[in-house]
């Protein structure tokens, strides 16, 4: 436990001083740090579900997309203030989790995965078609940055610290929830749902709550995305972006909450570096993804324990 606390302390400290120690801060704080935090929060909503319910969802971008489009449309087309539009968007994204969850939670495993993928692709095709609402293929551009207490978040460093605060808050919230009786019940449902039903738990209700919570995180990530990228288009909820998130979760380690951020940092840095050399970023990510799946299914967070178990194998087999 103390070792874990030290790790968290070091990571938080490093993230706090990162803008001051990195070379070329204008580029790396934004393309490395802020981007990783945004993608990390989006991936966190997937990791939370996978870890506690054993369900891999590609529907998280649907919630992000709903929230993102609401903020973008209301602020650009209708001049609504962020103070109103952001909470509304997060609420709407979270509530759409009720509808999707009602359907999706009836399925398991690869069906759940496919269904949530179809949900996201459905939003993509709608966003592409509904020109007059979503701006069609080009989407909605030049979304203004928020100004809170006189701080303009159009600047690189304020946005980074805002995202860092959100990320730490949500990560801690997930960790906290996992230790409550709710979280423990969830993990029990994941391991043996029938037994939990026979013990009198209303498992559908528990799963629904977890799903809604994950869509809440995804909605926040959607709003973060709008502020970071300053535009939103069907590509923001497209197949490639869905797979990007999946890559982050799997590469980082899908059964660890921290894996979301480890994966996000890795992918953000990978993207930033490879963009200078080649336009084959997507293909390169694909190869990395396949390699991780073939060689280290537990992801980077799991590599240490994977090596340990391999070293121990010749001696005592458990």
Using CB under 8 A as the criterion, which residues of the chain lie in contact with another protein when the complex forms?
Answer: 56, 99, 102-103, 106-111, 113-115, 117-119, 121-122, 124-126, 128-133, 238-240, 243, 246, 250, 280, 282-283, 285-287, 289-290, 293-294, 297
C-beta of 149 vs 205, nearer to another protein:
205
CB of 273 to another protein, least distance (A): 17
Q: Are 60 and 45 a contacting pair, CB within 8 Å?
A: yes
CB of 91 to another protein, least distance (A): 21
Helices 181-191 and 203-229: crossing angle in degrees, nearest 10, is 110
Q: Are 64 and 42 a contacting pair, CB within 8 Å?
A: yes
CB of 243 to another protein, least distance (A): 6
Residue 61's closest CA among 51, 69, 52? 69
C-beta of 125 vs 192, nearer to another protein:
125
CB of 190 to another protein, least distance (A): 14
CB of 256 to another protein, least distance (A): 17
Quickly list DSSP for 241-284.
HHHHHHHHHHHH-TT-SHHHHHHHHHHHHHHHHHHHH-S-HHHH
C-beta of 99 vs 307, nearer to another protein:
99
CB of 262 to another protein, least distance (A): 18
SS (H, E, C) 232-248: ECHHHHCHHHHHHHHHH
Give the CA angle between residues 207, 116, 187 to the nearest 5°: 25
C-beta of 83 vs 122, nearer to another protein:
122
In angstroms, the CA 264 to CA 221 distance is 13
CA 120 to chain centre: 14
C-beta of 51 vs 167, nearer to another protein:
51
C-beta of 151 vs 296, nearer to another protein:
296
Q: Are 301 and 263 a contacting pair, CB within 8 Å?
A: no
């Amino acid at each position: 436990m103390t070792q874990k606390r030290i790790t968290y302390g070091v990571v938080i400290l490093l993230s706090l001083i990162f803008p001051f120690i990195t070379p070329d801060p204008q580029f790396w704080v934004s393309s490395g740090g802020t981007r990783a935090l945004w993608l990390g929060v989006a991936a966190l909503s997937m990791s939370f579900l996978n870890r506690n319910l054993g369900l891999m969802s590609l529907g998280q971008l649907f919630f992000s997309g709903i929230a993102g489009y609401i903020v973008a449309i209301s602020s650009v087309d209708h001049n609504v203030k962020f103070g109103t539009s952001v909470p509304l968007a997060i609420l709407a994204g979270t509530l759409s989790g009720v509808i999707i969850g009602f359907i999706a939670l009836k399925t398991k495993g690869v069906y759940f995965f496919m269904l949530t993928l179809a949900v996201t692709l459905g939003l993509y095709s709608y966003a592409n078609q509904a020109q007059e609402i979503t701006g069609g293929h080009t989407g909605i551009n030049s979304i203004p940055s928020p100004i809170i207490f006189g701080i303009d978040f159009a600047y690189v460093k304020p946005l980074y610290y805002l995202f860092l605060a959100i990320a730490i808050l949500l990560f801690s919230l997930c960790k906290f929830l996992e230790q409550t009786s709710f979280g423990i019940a969830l993990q029990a449902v994941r391991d043996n749902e029938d037994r939990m039903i026979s013990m009198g738990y209303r498992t559908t209700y528990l799963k629904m709550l977890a799903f809604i919570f994950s869509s809440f995180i995804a909605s926040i990530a959607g709003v973060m995305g709008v502020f970071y990228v300053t535009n939103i288009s069907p590509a923001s909820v497209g197949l490639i972006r869905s797979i990007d998130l999946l890559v982050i979760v799997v590469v980082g380690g899908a059964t660890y909450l921290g894996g979301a951020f480890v994966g996000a940092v890795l992918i953000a840095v990978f993207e930033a570096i490879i963009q200078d050399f080649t336009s084959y970023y997507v293909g390169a990510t694909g190869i990395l993804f396949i390699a991780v799946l073939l060689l280290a299914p537990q992801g980077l967070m799991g590599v240490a324990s994977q090596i340990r178990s391999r070293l121990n194998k010749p001696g005592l087999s458990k």
